[in-house]
Structure 1
Amino acid sequence: MTNLRQSALAMAIVGSCLAPTINAEALSGKALSLEEVLVTAEKREESLQNTPISILAFSAEKLSRFGVTDLGDISGLAPNVEITPFPVSRSSLIVFMRGVGNNDSQSTQDPAVGVYLDGIYMARSIGLTSDVADLERIEVLRGPQGTLYGRNTTGGAINLITAKPSDEAGLSQTLSRGNRSYWKSLTKIESGKVGDVAAKLTFMRSAHDGWVDNTGSGRNFGAEDKSAGRFALRWDVSDTMSVDYAYDFSDIDGPQQFYQPISGTSPNPAAPAKSGRYSSGQWFGGVEPSETEISGHSLIVTMDTSVGVFKSITAYRELNESIVQDYAAGAPGFRVNGGVDQEQISQEFQLVGNYGSDINYVMGLYYFSEEDNEIETDTFGGFPLENRQIISESEAQAIYGQVTWSPESFDHRLDITLGGRYTTDDRKANKTSITFVNGPQAASESWSHFNPSLTMDFAWTDTLSTYGKVVSAYKSGGFNVRSTEAGFQPPFDEENIMSYEIGLKSTWLDRRISFNAAAFHAEYTDMQLQQITNNATIFLTDVFNVGEAEIDGFEFDLMAVLIEGLTLQASYGYTDADFIEFIDQRPGQATFGQDVSDRAVMPYAPEQSFTVGLDYETPISVGVLQASLDYSWRDERYGTAFNDDLQGFFLDDNGVVNARLAITEIGVGEASLEVAAWGRNLDSEEYKVHSISLGAYRSAYFGEPKSYGVDVTLRF
């Protein structure tokens, strides 16, 4: 289906559903109005409708209905947001927003979309598919967030917010079963408030079989065992001071996904190139498992003072991963063995307050430190191609502030916000490699940057506001883990983005409809991009600051109560991302030093994406009936910007249908029972999750076919 037809389809669905609602008489009452959504995107709790950011928020109830347990699950729910696993490690995610991101995962190159767990920056994309055992909310902030969130948010930011201990004691147990031997157990225990202290313990175990049968030795491809837990403790020291401590962990164990040849000359005649999804296959020598372990501690102290709310956020996190991935589909071919050990500590001080009735402010100090040890061995038919180790350290400090003036002369309807952040980055790395003929290399570099922002927001009525903003952000430089010997030094430099955005926030018909929209133009300079300098050595890539790009687009998010109990949700995103300059920096190529922007494409930037969903809820004799149906669509996109064989990195357009039916609040003595049946990818859409060029042939792995199951939850 063409892009034009997909756009027309999205508009037609929204229009047909919305038309009778707009013409209906405005009705009041909870059943015919949308609930207010509170977010903390600007470091203070406020209504989503009053926050001048293009933001999507998913509550715990929505996360449950959509079956979201980790960051990767929201990929289809947020237009203009692309989230896909990294090829070597399925626990690592490639995250792009509005065409801005990083299509690699390495310890010395930072992502362009910041991910935060309870305000704590997650430096590595490894492990982002780990289950967070007890999420309260996910906030997706589209567009640069350089002031309040800082470095490495040139694309945007994602906040994962966990549920805090309750004042009331409680226990809940969820058991799930599904096809492909899927099972899950989720236990939540609330101590309730005992004196000044409340605690919460959450523990989750799950497992499923893979959807590609392994005809050789070992488990099926994609089979997975997960465990995750979280202990949270809250101490209300006084009326003005509280202390929150949390410990969380997550483990993922199982073989990687099955890469199959999709075109070219396959290394295995028994597994020829095939455009569709294989149902079975094998690795030469048998399947080896991969494992990811993540854990972290956090201590958050919050205190009300005469000048505002002071908060101290202290955190320590570590991850360990060992992976094995094979791209040859049963023949002696290209195989990767790798491992990463990472530790990070961070400290942030925040002050959020008001000065009179006209001014509010946010200010803070930030410190971050990280140590990494990354190893990788690449072989072809058992012959070693690469054996490398990179030991690296990084450190960052920042000071930031944001002041909003709401003059009384405009009846506090005009907000003018000025912000800025100054950041310094220090990074050093030591690399050894069997491809380095002159021995190990060691290097260090420092960067610093100031990022200002300006936002003007005007509330025309209590339910209609518009905003305009100019925001800058930068991503720090670094050293390339996968480099050739010549490409390790000098380091690649920082990249920068300047974004211009106008937006609308509105609610209509006594909160029966909300409609938010944003249009943006971004100028992207000194872009960091990987280039394969030689297709004969695809395991070596160099990172260059290749040039400039411009990105234009818009998105809207609609929610509407169509009739009592029936709610429509629709989101649409459009992105037009183009290189303005792309200097080919591959030595020995005919186009070396030339501008090849006419041959390059912006990676992971589908032109159109949308999601449409219906939620229905009504009381019945035994409880409450809930039903949901959603459909998400992504246009075609490429996984890399410039290569001699772009088709090897091409992903087709695709749409996925999900549904859920539940009966909740079933009385069982003193307890409450919930039973839910769910299905994902109900039409078994065949779509490539990731594809890669391997010289003579192209390889890819496909998404999960239809899955279904039942959840049973008992709450006391």
Structure 2
Amino acid sequence: MGKSKAGLAVLSALVALPGAAGAQTRSTQLEEVVVTAQKRAESLQDTPISLAAFSGDQLEQFGIDDLGDITARTPNVDITPFPNSRSSLVIFMRGVGNNDSQTTQDPAVGIYFDGVYVGRSIGLTKDVADLERIEILRGPQGTLYGRNTTGGAINMISAKPAGEFALKGVLAAGNRDYQKALVQLDTPTIANLSAKISYSKAEKGPWVENAKGGKGFVEEDREAGRFVLRWDISDTFSLDYAYDISEIVGPQPYYQVLRINEDRAVTPQNLADAIAGGASQDTINNLQNDLLVGTLFTPQFRERASEDRLSKGEWDVPVEDSVTEVSGHTLTLTWDLPFGTLKSISAYREVSEDVIMDYGAGVEWFDVMVAIDQDQTSQELQLVGDIGESVNYVAGLYYFEENAFEHEVDTIGGSVGEDRTITSENKASAIYGQLSWTPESQRDLTLTVGARYTEDDRCAEKYSINFTNSPNNTQQACDTWSNFNPSITASYDINDQVNTYAKVVTGYKSGGYNVRSTEAGFQPAFDEEEMIAYEIGVKSTLADNRVRLNAAVFRSDYTDMQIQQILDNTAVFLTDVFNAGEAEIQGFEFDLTAILSEGLTLNLGYGYTDAEFVEVIDNNPNSATFRQDVSDRYIMPYAPENTYSLVLEYQFPYFGIGNLRAIVDYNWRDERYGTASNDDMEGFFLDDYGLLGARLNWSEIDLGGSELSLALWGKNITDEEYLVHDISQAYFHSGYFGELASYGLDVTLQF
């Protein structure tokens, strides 16, 4: 904390400074928010999408460090780290998402970085310090964004070169040995060329100490860089190139034993009675397994069990770093033509990750080692324009290609449970268009129709051997899918302050292969899942532009859902995927921003989701309910019924030196489950919780040619204990908790 004390000393000294920058006017009206959710720049209030947008200034003011922090500000959006890769994110919107990260299974919420689709969730926790804006589009976006957006889409738009010299440096320090340094440089425009360079490096100590010594759990080092080049070739033609690279290094979280499944206890007499009663060989084998585990392992699990957060822990394997590396190139050409703007977006991205994870909390039980390499190439052509004053359009062509490799070794009780290697290739191409018409006789009404046609090709090869002593097995498979996604929207301006819309939209998630399958379950491939959603919304700016209230009511019908089913509870790491589910989702959300008084602003968001399965077919041939509807045993995962966030921001009256602003935020989410299948209804359960944070910003302190800002912040300042993930491992439950209270000081200097 030496750096934090030094920063506070600087703060005290500056209070006595006689000079000051000009006073910043305290706003009494809301500023217009411009978004590009429909591939063109337009006002948030004119965009018929349930949409939340955060500017770069807001990301900084709210202390949003990575994409995962957005969940605290956006109702009906649930983002959590993936169990064995904290660089990956599990993202759900309105109860729709994917809680797996296989390279042969796609997400249901599309992530876009400067218009480029990001195929894998690995590395999404990278720093967002150099972003101009984040847009959260809730609900299916199949027409303009394509496949894998049944839940919605997230646009991350990076900051572009300013064309003038600027230099910004940030030093930060906090508890748990948190340190961060960030440098951003803008170059002046020379020969129509300008550039922006940013680099950041951060490190943080563990949340849970390693009882054996050495590195602790969730300790990490981060490093990231970005280079952006802008070339205005002519008045109508420009080139933008960007390169980004990031690395995250550190051990994974500590999964502690939470509780024991006492109902799985088996005695020698239970086994003898089953044999005497003529039980099947499968039943006898399961009882023998349970008896062995109960004798050898359950006492150790019981000794370690605690439903309170532990401050220390250990693995049965050495605590080693996991390493994630992500990089990408993007080339965007923009050409202004007489009939519209033509844009070409070419991109190449690659991901590499090595992970080691121990789920047994120090008992030699379930360890996982994973290595993943993935690269993707994409090309998109967009044409955006207007025909007179009544028609505007968006049209495009899209191509995507992905190659991936993954190797996973699962160790059960010290012996290899499964060793598998996967290679895969995925190609997709699409054509899409959207047309909006505003009749000359009815300028308050706009009708929009859109459609997208997509073809998917996926091939995969799996080589594996598992604990059932099956022979080495190589399986190869390819499959092709196609889908047509139409949409129709009607929007009506009641007056200059209130806009309404109604829409019917569709989306789909592509088919694939489950690499964690049983030997028999790898093929045939599971097919795509589809969604049709109905939505009515309102966008309003009220009280002389002091209040912005946007709300939406929705209903979604989910068919051919890709359901993971565990066919053997003693091998929870093996699942098969079937198009076995149908669900209905309904709810509403609103986002409110209001200037309550001069300098005092309220941001309030609330989301309600009622998501439930209406049918799930049991595909376990050993089950008594085989081929029957077992939807009563399934719960929609990561679909809390109620979520809300509250942010109060107060800008103090000008006092002679800079501007002082205080922010207090609180977010809440109801209880939810981490997986759909819940035969053991206490497994995969995450209880409700609320987190409180605060931030004090003292900005625009004039130092004569440079500007200083100081920010004192705290997150989870009440030390709330909350589970991030909970998993049932047949004989016991384990899980890990979120971060304790954290606090620190940011010092920013700009030239």
TM category, shorter = over 0.9
Give the distance between the partners of 1:213 and 1:58, measured in 2 at CA. 35
Q: Deviations over 1:373-401 (max 9, x none)?
A: 01100002321001001100000000000
In the TM superposition, residue 529 of structure 1 has moved relative to its aligned partner by 1.6
Question: Counterparts of 2:144 and 2:412 in 1: how far apart (Å)?
Answer: 46
Range moving further from structure 2, 66-75 or 390-399: 66-75
| CA distance in structure 2 between the aligned counterparts of 1:555 and 1:347, rounded to whole angstroms | 34
Match of 1:648 in 2: 683
Report what 2:544 is aligned to. Answer: 510
For residues 536-577 of structure 1, give each alpha carbon's deviation from its aligned partner in whole angstroms, at most 9, with x where no partner exists.
111111111112100010000100000111100000000000
2:265 alignment counterpart: none
Q: For the residues of structure 1 that align with 2:451 and 2:746, how far apart are their CA atoms? A: 47
After superposition, the Cα gap between the structure-2 partners of 1:267 and 1:125, relative to the gap in structure 1 and judged at 3 Å, is: farther
2:328 pairs with 1:328: no
Q: Residue type matched to 2:497 in 1?
A: T
Alignment map for 1:472-491 (pairs within 5 Å): 472-491=506-525
Please give the secondary structure, in 1, of the residue aligned with 2:441: helix
- 1:82 is matched by which residue type in structure 2? D
Residue 587 of structure 1: how far off its partner (Å): 2.4
2:452 is the counterpart of 1:418: no
The Cα offsets for residues 27-79 of structure 1, whole Å up to 9 and x where unpaired, read as xx972101111100000001101100000001111111222122111121111
Distance 1:84 1:271, change over 3 A: farther
- Cα deviation, residue 271, structure 1: 5.1
The answer to whether 1:396 aligns with 2:436 is no
Mapping of residues 42-121 of structure 1, within 5 Å: 42-121=38-117
Are 1:181 and 2:177 an aligned pair? yes
Q: For residue 184 of structure 1, report the CA deviation from its aligned partner.
A: 0.4
For residues 590 and 657 of structure 2, what CA distance do their matches in structure 1 show?
A: 38
Q: Is the partner of 1:64 in helix, strand or coil?
A: helix
Provide structure 2 residue ranges, at least 5 long, that are not aligned to the other structure: 1-24, 262-297
Distance 1:285 1:260 in 2: 14
How far apart in 2 are the matches of 1:620 and 1:570?
29
For residues 594 and 695 of structure 1, the distance between their equivalents in structure 2, rounded to whole angstroms, comes to: 24
Aligned to 1:524: 558
> Partners in 2 of 1:547 and 1:597 — Cα distance?
8
In our comparison, the structure showing a higher alpha carbon Rg is 2
Deviations along 1:137-171, one digit per CA (max 9) or x if unpaired, are: 11000000000000000000000110000021010
- Indicate whether 1:427 and 2:427 are aligned: no
Opposite residue 506 of structure 1, the aligned amino acid is S
The answer on whether the counterparts of 1:133 and 1:230 sit within 8 Å (CA) in structure 2 is no
Alignment-derived partner of residue 34 in structure 1: 30
CA distance in 1 between counterparts of 2:376 and 2:161 reads: 26
What SS does structure 2 have at the residue aligned with 1:232?
strand
Give the share of equivalent positions with the same residue, in percent.
Answer: 57
Structure 1 residue 615 displacement after superposition:
0.8
Is 2:135 the counterpart of 1:139? Answer: yes
Say if 1:271 and 1:330, in contact at 8 Å, map to a contact too. Answer: no
Structure 1 stretches of 5 or more lacking a match?
A: 1-28
The aligned counterpart of 1:198 is 194
Equivalent runs, 1:533-544 vs 2, <5 Å: 533-544=567-578
Q: Find 1:282's aligned residue among 314, 335, 356.
A: 314
Separation in 2, partners of 1:92, 1:621: 45
1:454-513 per-position Cα deviation (integer Å, ceiling 9, x unaligned): 000001111101100000001000011101011101100100000000000001111100
Conserved 8 A contact 1:640-1:646: no
Runs (4 or more) in structure 1 with deviation over 3 Å come to: 265-271
1:240 to 2:274 alignment: no
Distance 2:743 2:626 in 1: 51
Contact 1:268 1:329 in 2 (8 A): no
- Matched residue, 1:9: none
Residue deviations 1:180-217 (CA, integer Å, cap 9, x gap):
00000010011121120110000000010011011114
SS at match of 1:467: strand
Which of 679, 693, 699 in structure 1 is aligned with 2:728?
A: 693
Preserved contact between residue 268 and residue 330 of structure 1 (Cα < 8 Å): no
| Alignment match, 2:604 | 570
- Which residue number corresponds to residue 379 of structure 1? 411
SS in 1 for 2:72: helix
Q: Secondary structure at the match of 2:683?
A: helix
Contact 1:71 1:129 (8 Å CA) reproduced: yes
Alignment of 1:161 with 2:192, yes or no, is no
Q: Say whether the 8 Å CA contact 2:259–2:302 is kept in structure 1.
A: no
SS at match of 1:92: strand
Q: Hey, what's the Cα distance between the residues in 1 that align with 2:452 and 2:301?
A: 57
* RMSD between superposed Cα atoms in Å: 1.1
SS in 2 for 1:73: helix
How far apart, CA to CA, are the structure 1 residues paired with 2:193 and 2:245?
22
Q: Which amino acid in 1 is paired with 2:332?
A: I
Match of 2:474 in 1: 440
Query: How far off its partner does 1:678 sit?
Result: 0.1
The normalised TM-score by structure 2 is 0.90
Partners of 1:415 and 1:90 lie apart in 2 by 44
Distance 1:285 1:595 in 2: 42
> Residues 262-273 of structure 1: matches in 2 within 5 Å?
262-264=258-260, 268=300, 272-273=304-305
Letter in 2 for 1:374: E
| Count of residues in correspondence between the two structures | 687
CA-to-aligned-CA distance 1:397-435 (integer Å, 9 cap, x gap): 00000000011101x211100000000000000001113
Query: 1:206, 1:227 within 8 Å by CA — same for their partners in 2?
Result: yes
